[in-house]
Every structure is written in C-alpha cells, then in structure tokens.
C-alpha cells in the first residue's frame, strides 16, 4: 500500500514465472539471482523519464526487485 500511496496505481500488473531464458534490460542486474520457477508479480509504471518495473516474489507483499529504464534507452541482445 505504501508504494501505491507514493506512485499511484500501476498502468499494468502481470504475473510472470522466472525461467532460465536470458533477459536484456535493467533486469539483467538481478535476474540471475532469482531462482528459476519463482512467480513474480510485476507492477509497471511509466512517466516522462522512463519505465519502472517493480517485482514482488512468490506472493510476498514486500518489494523484491526494481528496474528502471530511462526513456530512449534501447537494450539489445548480444548476438
């Protein structure tokens, strides 16, 4: 509730299950620390500065991870 008091409601909420697939973007910083199979609730926010994703793990009410991508930044896979 504290997060909603500060940021308001997210524009999107979704549930994802962490898999071993590689990920590109600000999540790269912590993605390998999350065990495969972990259920993550993702709250997405967007403003003029960029995109913020908040991750809550395994039905926990505490924020586990956050990732911010500045507006205009493009992430590419290394191939």
11-30 pLDDT, tens digit each = 999 999 998 888 888 898 89
Query: Phi and psi dihedrals of 31, rounded to 5?
Result: -55, -40
- C-alpha span between 18 and 20 (Å, rounded): 7
As to burial, measured by CB atoms within 10 angstroms (0-12 exposed, 13-18 middle, 19+ buried), residue 66 is middle
Global pTM? 0.84
CA separation for the pair 35, 10 (Å, rounded) = 25
35 HSE (CA, 13 A, CB side):
5
pLDDT tens, 27-72?
Answer: 988 999 999 999 999 999 999 999 999 999 987 889 999 999 988 7
pLDDT higher than 90, residue 75:
no
């Amino acid at each position: 509730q504290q997060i909603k008091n500060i940021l308001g409601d997210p524009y999107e909420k979704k549930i994802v299950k962490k898999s071993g697939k590689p990920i590109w973007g600000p999540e790269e910083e912590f993605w390998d620390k999350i065990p495969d199979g972990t259920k993550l609730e993702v709250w997405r926010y967007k403003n003029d500065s960029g995109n913020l994703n908040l991750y809550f793990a395994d039905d926990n009410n505490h924020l586990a991870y956050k990732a911010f991508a500045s507006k205009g930044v493009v992430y590419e896979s290394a191939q």
